[in-house]
Amino acid sequence: MVLKIIDLKKNKETETLPFSTCLLLGNFDGVHKGHTELVKVALEMGKSLGLKVGVWTFADHPMDTLSGRRNAYLSSVEDKNHIFAALGIDYMIYEDFSRIRDYSPERFVEEILKKGANCRAAVCGYNFRFGKNGEGTPSMLVELLERDGGKVAVVDEVRVRNTVVCSTAIRSLIEDGKTEEAIELLGRPYSLSLPVEYGKQLGRTLGLPTINQRFPVGRVRPKNGIYACVCDIDGRSFYGVANVGSRPTVNGEKDDVNCETHIIDYDGWLYGKKVRIAFYGRLRDEKRFDCIEELKKAIENDVFAARDYFSKKGI
């Protein structure tokens, strides 16, 4: 299935979609287990009503505009497109928040949902808000859409180990280095697809080549440390050991945090290409070693630990 992308921030001309839709409404940062429950409901509703199923969301999180600063998030537009396509969604609508931020709830439903998106059914979470100052609630959405024959499903909270699944909780877990707990809420490991940059190529001289990737502004960064990871390269997966941090043994006191990864059993040329790194278990803290030989030995131990980790997890 080919996912259709409608970016209303780039294309200001909005036209009514030529087909009736069932829309998932929300920000969907991370597309976690709570969000996938909404997807299940929407796909069932779309099938029963004969509607195409789409996601209505924002390319930039509203909090960026409201707070006046770039916040850290779990997923890029590219990530969302990839995940929702895999879940069976037909199309994505990316709205321009600055264009509609002052719309009343009534105007939002009439102009954005009914007229613009030809929305005949909608699915949202229990905490969904819309309209100026977030005045619109799920119950208001039900009233405004169903009075003209539309259908609305409001999905309750999802809990894992008595924790409410939400993007805020997942961000906090990742930033605390609790990547395995984050996996339970996300439904998959936290990952980033980033271009490979040139580094000092010290790893290659040690017989342990690494790739260097820089965390982009606005993305959640795992706590500094060494992680067992899986690296996706052109559709193939390899185990790896990722160092998130400033690499104090070779960089001294520089506070220049990036991700340096040794890809196990791989020695291809990756400069300029994008490689997705999926973070699994945190193996240890980042450490400064007295000499390069100690660093090499530590990496070798990390490789052994990563292999053992994935073997025990059955990954």
Per-residue pLDDT of the chain (315 residues; tens, 9 = 90+): 678 999 887 765 555 678 899 999 999 999 999 999 999 999 999 999 999 999 999 988 777 767 667 778 999 999 999 999 999 999 999 999 988 999 999 999 999 999 999 999 999 999 999 999 999 999 999 999 999 999 999 999 999 999 999 999 999 999 999 999 999 999 999 999 999 998 776 667 777 899 999 998 889 999 999 999 999 999 999 999 999 998 765 665 556 779 999 999 998 899 999 999 999 999 999 988 878 888 889 999 999 999 999 999 999
CA angle 154, 159, 278 (to 5 degrees): 105
CATH of the domain at 77: 3.40.50.620
- Does the residue 178 lie in any domain? no
- Does the residue 185 lie in any domain? no
Q: Are residues 139 and 262 in the same domain?
A: no
Q: Which residues of 149-187 are buried (b: 16+ CB within 10 A; e: fewer)?
A: ebbbbbbeebebeeeebbbebbbebbeebbbbbbbbbbb
Nearest residue to 225 (alpha-carbon basis) of 188, 178, 187: 178
Residue for token pair 């040329």: 269
Question: What are the residue ranges of helices labelled H in 15-146?
Answer: 33-49, 62-67, 77-87, 97-100, 105-107, 138-146
Counting every residue written for the chain, the total comes to 315
Model pLDDT, residue 26: 96
pTM (two decimals): 0.91
- The domain boundary residue, chosen from 156, 181, 200: 156
Model pLDDT, residue 246: 80
211-213 and 91-95 beta bridge pairing: unpaired
Q: Are residues 225 and 152 in the same domain?
A: no
Model pLDDT, residue 301: 97
Nearest residue to 37 (alpha-carbon basis) of 187, 159, 155: 155
Q: Are residues 106 and 201 in the same domain?
A: no
Range of the domain at 67: 4-156
Nearest residue to 93 (alpha-carbon basis) of 59, 124, 121, 120: 59
Structural domain total, the chain: 2
130 Cβ contact partners less than 8 Å away, ≥ 6 residues apart = 25, 105, 108, 136, 141
Question: How does DSSP assign 163-231, residue by residue?
Answer: EE--HHHHHHHHHTT-HHHHHHHHSS-EEEEEE-B----HHHHTT---EEEPPPTTB--PPSEEEEEEE
**CA 105 – CA 122 distance, rounded (Å):** 15
Q: Are residues 143 and 202 in the same domain?
A: no
Q: Do the Cβ atoms of 180 and 280 come closer than 8 Å?
A: yes
44 Cβ contact partners less than 8 Å away, ≥ 6 residues apart = none
- The domain boundary residue, chosen from 110, 133, 156: 156
CATH of the domain at 244: 2.40.30.30
3-state SS, residue 110: helix
